[in-house]
Amino acid sequence: MSERHIEVPVLTRVEGEGALYVRIADRRVAELRLNIFEPPRFFEKFLEGRSWKEIPDMVARICGICPVAYQMSAVHAIEAAFGAVITPEIRQLRRLYYCGEWMESHSLHIHLLAAPDFLGFPDAMALAQKHPDIVRRGMRLQALGNSIVSLLGGRSVHPVGARVGGFYRAPAAAAAAELLERLRAALPDAEELVRWTAQLELPAVIRHAPFISLRHAEEYPMNEGRIVSCDGLSIGADEFETYIEERQVPHSTALHATLDGQPYWVGPLARLNNNLDHLPAASARLLRATGMVWPSRNPYHSVVARALEIHIALTEAIAILEHYRVPDQAYVEIEPRAGIGMACTEAPRGILWQRYEFDDAGIVKKSRIVPPTSQNQAQIEADLRASVEENMDLDDAALRAHLEAGIRNYDPCISCSTHFLNLTVERA
Amino acid sequence: MIRVIGVGSPWGDDQAGWLAAEALRGLFEEDRVEVKTLDRPGPALCEHWQRNDSVVLLDAVRAHGEIGRIHCVEGAAIANLGGASLSSHGFGVAEAVALAAALEVMPRRLCLLGLEVSGSERGADMSAEAERCVPQLTAAARAQVTTWLND
């Protein structure tokens, strides 16, 4: 029997700490582990005993890249538990807030994490030396996303402006108007980014796991919608636990999630595939002009989906700010009560589900947070198994690089999911 | 504008840059010297300066040398310190400066003052050893700012 062992001891250009180990025996994958060794942080446990008022600021600390997602799923879940109803103006501000995070997170991933893989550079610094204009464009779009988050959150990292019921204060008209002009000026960057990602030479692979995302009746989903799959699943957030099972695996501090015992796939590609009919008209035209066939089952098309979602977010943010008036109330008053609330929103990396149980005074009795990376983890492993078998003739170094790029393509946020990466491949 | 930027995280000795920067607040005229602290800014670090600025970065570093030693590294040479900074997941101050240099968005003057520490454990308090050395980092930053103010 011939055996190969391939190891990536520390994954780079991903958020958080993990590794990959692959053992190949007789040209088949005998063992593959996406080892997530970032220490668990026990967020769900230490939310217990805290007041509802503290939750948005606490969960914003889970991730430096997607704090808005954690805040939004939390406030919607808490409002569901308390029976609170927000105003249409607050709803629009929350959508604007999410647009900022998608722009910031996707721009970072495309330009600084993924692009070096697709263009043959070891890292973003080397890419920037050869193609500074590409990286500058990404930095501009990222900064713009950060500005949106700052407008509503007070700051771009670990923002503090969101609260249950709305925001502590609404943006001033002048600040909103100034940002609107900057957003309008960035549209050519966003359009060019979509065209640029669509012409990248991407691996041609097909993967068959179900796509799961939110779907809203009228709009591209961010804060609201039913949880749907491409195979017909359509459930409310309060049915998530009935259909999605999380289980511990020995090699990971992040739980693996499955649907009917099988891996599934969340994130921008799933979101786009499931919501092609809800694109803003300009984004739809841009996507058609790429000549690509959608929906797509090629995970590497995620980079195009991310670019398009930057355009969607920018378009939406402009539309929201063009109609912005400082609202009479930045938040609705909240009356806590005993109850259970669940909510799911679309983090940049995919659906993020949260559940809170409160006592009469609004103190958290139990909480549960299911981030997108833990939902994608089983699918990433399934994808990597297929990738190894498709690329068996590569030498160890080339195979290692290919697999690492494949993992990065999912934009895993290990820091979020631990409750993740180094690569070892053994060949026999 | 002179900008003092403390870079770090809430964990262990990685707080050193923050504490040293905070100790400088109120010591200089705010319209001439800005003091701020950033939690692992990654590539966004360069958004916090303009090309005409003079920037002091305060950070905890690991250099396998003497704990408490203050390393002073200037300009694009900071980019050569990859892996020494404790301040982010794979995209620390060195990488951010390398990116800024490649994109030609370096400030006019840039100085990293790095306090050598032993490590940074999540959830851990700052070590007594590092805490004792923070005033020296503050003093070094104050001296650098004063020199630039008098230029």
| For chain A, percent of residues with pLDDT exceeding 90 | 76
pLDDT of residue B97: 92
Q: Which of A27-31, B38-42, B135-139 has the highest mean pLDDT?
A: B135-139
- Rounded to whole angstroms, the Cα distance separating B128 from B105 reads 37
At B24, is the pLDDT very low, low, confident or very high (cuts 50, 70, 90)?
very high
Q: Closest CB to A128: pick one of B42, B103, B122.
A: B103
Q: Which amino acid is at B113?
A: L
- Would you call A199 helix, strand, or coil by DSSP? coil
Q: Does A182 touch chain B (CB under 8 A)?
A: no
Cβ A128–B47 below 8 Å, yes or no?
Answer: no
Cβ A142–B44 below 8 Å, yes or no?
Answer: yes
Domains of chain B: 2-149 (3.40.50.1450)
Q: What is the ipTM of this complex?
A: 0.77
Q: Which residues of chain A have pLDDT under 50?
A: 417-425
Long-range contacts from B94-98, C-beta under 8 angstroms, 24+ separation: B95/A123, B95/A124, B95/A125, B95/B42, B95/B43, B96/B41, B96/B42, B96/B43, B96/B44, B96/B45, B96/B46, B97/B45, B98/A125
Chain A residues closer than 8 Å to B41 by CB: 157
Query: CA of A15, closest CA in chain B: separation in Å?
Result: 6
Number of C-beta neighbours around residue A185 at 10 A: 11
For residue A337, give both structure tokens. Answer: 């009560």
Cβ A156–B44 below 8 Å, yes or no?
Answer: yes
pLDDT, mean of residues B107-127: 82
Phi first, then psi: give them for residue B36, nearest 5 degrees. Answer: -145, 160
Tell me the pLDDT tens digit for each residue of A22-39. Answer: 999 988 999 998 887 665
- Rounded to whole angstroms, the Cα distance separating B87 from B17 reads 10
Mutate to test the interface with B, among A57, A109, A125, A404 (most CBs of B within 10 A): A125
Cβ A135–B103 below 8 Å, yes or no?
Answer: yes
pLDDT of residue B22: 96
Query: CA of A293, closest CA in chain B: separation in Å?
Result: 34
- Rounded to whole angstroms, the Cα distance separating A416 from B78 reads 30
pLDDT of residue A417: 44
The residues on B that touch A, with CB distances below 8 Å, are 38-44, 46-47, 79, 89-91, 95, 98-99, 102-104, 122
Per the model's pLDDT, the better-predicted residue between A18 and B145 turns out to be: B145
pLDDT of residue A88: 97
What is chain A's alpha carbon radius of gyration, rounded to the nearest angstrom?
21
Measured between alpha carbons, how far is residue A347 from residues A11, A71, A91, A354, B32 in Å? 22, 10, 16, 12, 40
Choose among A117, A135, A143, A164: nearest CA to A302: A117
- Rounded to whole angstroms, the Cα distance separating A116 from A195 reads 17
Domains of chain A: 3-427 (1.10.645.10)
Chain A residues closer than 8 Å to B89 by CB: 14-17, 415
Per the model's pLDDT, the better-predicted residue between B81 and B135 turns out to be: B135
Cβ B89–A415 below 8 Å, yes or no?
Answer: yes
pLDDT of residue A64: 76
